[in-house]
Amino acid sequence: MSGNTQQSTNNRPAEIGALITRPRGYRVLRSAFALGRGRALDAELVARSGAASGDRVLDIGCGPGDLARALAARVGPAGEVVGRDPSPQMVAYAAARTKEPNCHFELGPAQTLDRADSSFDVVTCTFVMHHIPEAQREAALAHMYRVLRPGGRLLLADTHPTGRVLSGAIRVMSRFAARRTHDSAAGHHDDPLTAIDIRRYREPLSAAGFRSIEFATVPPIAGILLATKD
C-alpha cells in the first residue's frame, strides 16, 4: 500500500525503486490500514486470484510473505508458491517465518524477472506497482505476461481506500511514495490517490497482451485488476 514507504528505505538506483527494510513495522502499518483485517484481506485476494490446487504461483513484491503463505495453503502440496522481493530484509524475514515446504522466496525486482516463459499459472502483485519507478512499470508488466502460461491469471492490487480519514492519510503517504520512486508523473497528479489507483494499468495491461481485464474493490483498502493471458 502507499503507506509502505513510511517505513525505512534504502537509497537504490531508480531501476529498482523504493525498498522497505523493516518487515515488522510494515506488518503493523498494513494491519492498521486494513483496520485489523489483514488476514481477511489476504484470504479475499487469494480467492480473487483464482489460484487452485496444484497451481504454480509467483507473488511479486511479496514483502514479509503473508500473502505467499496464504497462497501456498490454497495450492496445496502439489502446487508451489515463489515470493519475490527486491528487499533483502523482507526476503530473509519471509523465509524465516515460513514453514510451508511448497513456499519459497527469492531476491529481485519485478522489472528484471528472470523466470522461464510460461512457468506460472497465477501471478500476484499487491501494493507494489507504485514502488516501481514509472519508467520501469511496462517492463514489469511485460515480464508478468511472459512468465504466465496461456490462460494464466494476473492479480494486481493497490490501495483504494474508503472513508474520508483513511483516504486523507493515504494521500499524504502517496506523495511520499512518488518522491521515493522518482515518479514525477505521480508527483504532479492533483489528487495523489491517482498515482496509486490500480485502474491506471488497464491500458498498459492490454498493450502487454492481457485480456478480460476487470476492476473490483476489496474493502476497506484495496482495488484490484484481474487479467488473463491468451
> Collapsing DSSP states into helix, strand and coil, what is residue 129?
helix
Q: Tens-of-pLDDT digits for all 230 residues of the chain?
A: 333 333 333 334 445 555 666 676 666 666 656 555 678 999 999 999 999 999 999 999 999 999 999 999 999 999 999 999 999 999 999 999 999 999 999 999 999 999 999 999 999 999 999 889 999 999 999 999 999 999 999 999 998 866 554 555 554 444 444 444 444 444 444 555 567 899 999 999 999 999 999 999 987 788 999 999 98
Q: What is the pLDDT of residue 180?
A: 44
* Chain CA centroid to CA 102, Å: 20
Q: Which residues, in sequence order, are CB contacts of 96 under 8 Å at separation 6+?
A: none
CA distance 230 to 199: 20
Q: What is the pLDDT of residue 184?
A: 43
Q: Which residues, in sequence order, are CB contacts of 11 under 8 Å at separation 6+?
A: none
Q: What is the pLDDT of residue 67?
A: 97
User: How many other CB atoms are found less than 10 A from the CB of residue 126?
Assistant: 25
CA distance 24 to 142: 31
Q: Which residues, in sequence order, are CB contacts of 6 under 8 Å at separation 6+?
A: 29, 173, 176
User: How many other CB atoms are found less than 10 A from the CB of residue 12?
Assistant: 16
Q: What is the pLDDT of residue 101?
A: 97
Q: What is the pLDDT of residue 51?
A: 98
Q: Between 23-33 and 88-97, two packed helices, what is the crossing angle to 10 degrees? A: 80
Q: What is the pLDDT of residue 8?
A: 33
For residue 108, which amino acid is it?
A: G
Grid coordinates given for 36: 485489523
**Whole-model pTM?**
0.80
Q: What is the CA radius of gyration of the chain?
A: 16
* H helical segments located in the chain: 23-33, 38-49, 66-75, 88-97, 137-147, 164-180, 184-187, 202-208
Q: What is the pLDDT of residue 130?
A: 86
User: How many other CB atoms are found less than 10 A from the CB of residue 201?
Assistant: 23
**Is residue 44 within 8 Å of 71, Cβ to Cβ?**
no
CA distance 152 to 229: 5
CA distance 33 to 140: 26
Q: What is the pLDDT of residue 183?
A: 47
Rounded to 5°, the CA angle 183-135-178 comes to: 10
